[in-house]
Structure 1
């Protein structure tokens, strides 16, 4: 289910010069008082504060300056490799579509522009919105196309996605299961260092914690197109779960080294999880 949700964008919007809905640090025509300035430094007599001017020890006219609200470019960079079609507790491909629609709707609701880069073996122009814009109809069409697509291969274009982002700071959601080599993720993060990045790690509990203690289990490598049948036993179950726990720590260390905290989505996409994520960062 798609929920209309207004996220709490902060860092990426602070220095954007375009007016919008988010608190910025640039002086402009906002409503939030920032500071007093001498009239000669801010020659706008409409904002003269007579009380502050009378109290000024240098007998200078004082003008009120205000903090401008800023507009933000919001991008979703999505892994479109075969592993993102995994069906377990939920369908990862459906979750990807839900995330696309929800993030775009939230961005447009606040007057922000939304962009999308789908990262498959190549970057398909039909699955690309760059530069970011306010066209919700284009997002809806793209969501339907992804929903009906058969995802194949690896996300070999993953590290090329940064080429489609603006020069100014943007809020970038990075959606993937991140089963790719850590070196690829580090290379991507280095290219995104001027943006505010939110890594969304899409895992499914059936991949690790929901494994049976005993029984025959088939494991499929969707990207390589290979299937392996194993006899599940407690020792193998523990080994797999330990590997997932180590991978989680590895991803956390990788993203934290670039100043961002990953959000693990193990129960599908929920808009309130994203809001809670931003609230925790703000707190």
Structure 2
């Protein structure tokens, strides 16, 4: 028996799951994804990764601006689905959509719920200094990531992980969960476990202001801050420029032990910067309007003598 389902997702993280579900032989009758956006220097309209893969697989695609549109919900209900598989879709589904498929909607979430409910669980886990995270399949309900858990996979966060590297490992682990979960659903052997009410945290979206480096924090905290925001949106600071301050992203940094004999934000030597506790060595940077470069290359084109104060 194969399940008749719709897939709802948008970025690369979701496309990997769609590929696994299709390869497992299930009948994916429709894909819903975000509308094409204008991107790049030429501002050309680009389809989402899920949209592009669906076209390769020959699956019909819809890109509704809002899933709350009654016509969109009616179309969704008319598909006569066993299930909807949801991965980083980018829209909140109304209750009428959640219960339209016979088995409801299942969502893949990149954390160990109830920790890091919400939009940015991968970044938040690293920024907070977590050592473990994971991916979970949950039965969706009206609350934000509050539904019961159906399947879990734990993933260790390495000291060297950035948001990008952890994203890729969670993407792979999550994609491989779908065939197991769908097979168990067919057998009626997938048990739902309610989430604990303890340890609830929210992974709100990261603003540009929050990404700014606060040099009064400890070097260890700032190392996590940098890793959790690398490569996007990127932790950043401003350095003195000829006419105005210049924004610089830090893509990789490492804490330096010992007390820094300078105020927070002061360049000690090279690209080692004093923090509220310890110092941070900047390893890879990206000046606005330029490509990413290592510290030595950055210093060749940018003068940051000892004593310079970064904001």
TM over 0.5: no
Larger Rg: 1
Higher relative contact order (Cα pairs below 8 Å, separated by 6+ residues): 1
TM-score by length of 2: 0.32
Q: Greater helix percent: which structure? A: 1
